[in-house]
Amino acid sequence: MPAAVRKQDRRERERQKYAKRRAPRDGGFEQGDQKARIHDDEKNNSGRPLFWREGPRQSREYVTGKPNHAFHKEELKPATAQSEFHPNGRRNHSYTPPENAAKKPAEAPDAWQQVCQLHLKEWVTPGQRAKLEAEYNAGIATGKSWREIGAALGQIVKGWKRGR
């Protein structure tokens, strides 16, 4: 028998063998096929049957007689008092003395206020400085926000950079 015919016969036998295992789409099963008697929702992607059923849920507090590390979480302990130096003699740079720890940190300045201060330092000639200070003072006197004042100063500086 030629090799091509033998190969074709073998493929046909494999198809028939696997066709017996698969359940028809109508839900019925061929007789004598006990392994294929599972529901469609219990199949995995390969189409082969799964041979176990899920049992009841068990507590995983203790696994093989040992406590499970994911359970019994203790409450976080309050931070211990920091020392200025670590036990090995190195300095603890995150150390804050107790008198400084009680004080509230100063509020961060407004970013636009910092932009205004940078614009005021931008130009050094007396005429330019006078024009910037006049715009700055006028903005504060009229009650403009820091953003509006910063934008106005930025327009003046931008015009100078363009040569206007």
pLDDT at 151: 92
* Residue 124 pLDDT level (bands cut at 50, 70, 90): confident
Contacts of 110 (CB under 8 A, 6+ apart): 146
How far apart, in whole angstroms, are the C-alpha atoms of residue 149 and residue 110? 13
Confidence of residue 134 (pLDDT cuts 50, 70, 90): very high
Average confidence (pLDDT) over 147-163:
85
Helix (H) or strand (E) holding 63: strand 62-63
Query: Of all residues in the chain, what percent carry a pLDDT higher than 90?
Result: 18
84-101 per-residue burial string, b: 16 or more CB within 10 A, e: under 16 = eeeeeeeeeeeeeeeeee
Model pLDDT for residues 72-96, shown as the tens digit of each residue: 677 666 666 778 899 899 999 988 8
pLDDT surpasses 50 at 34: no
DSSP string, 30-62: -TT--TT-S-GGG--TTSPPP----------SE
pLDDT at residue 14 above 90? no
More confident residue, 45 or 53: 53
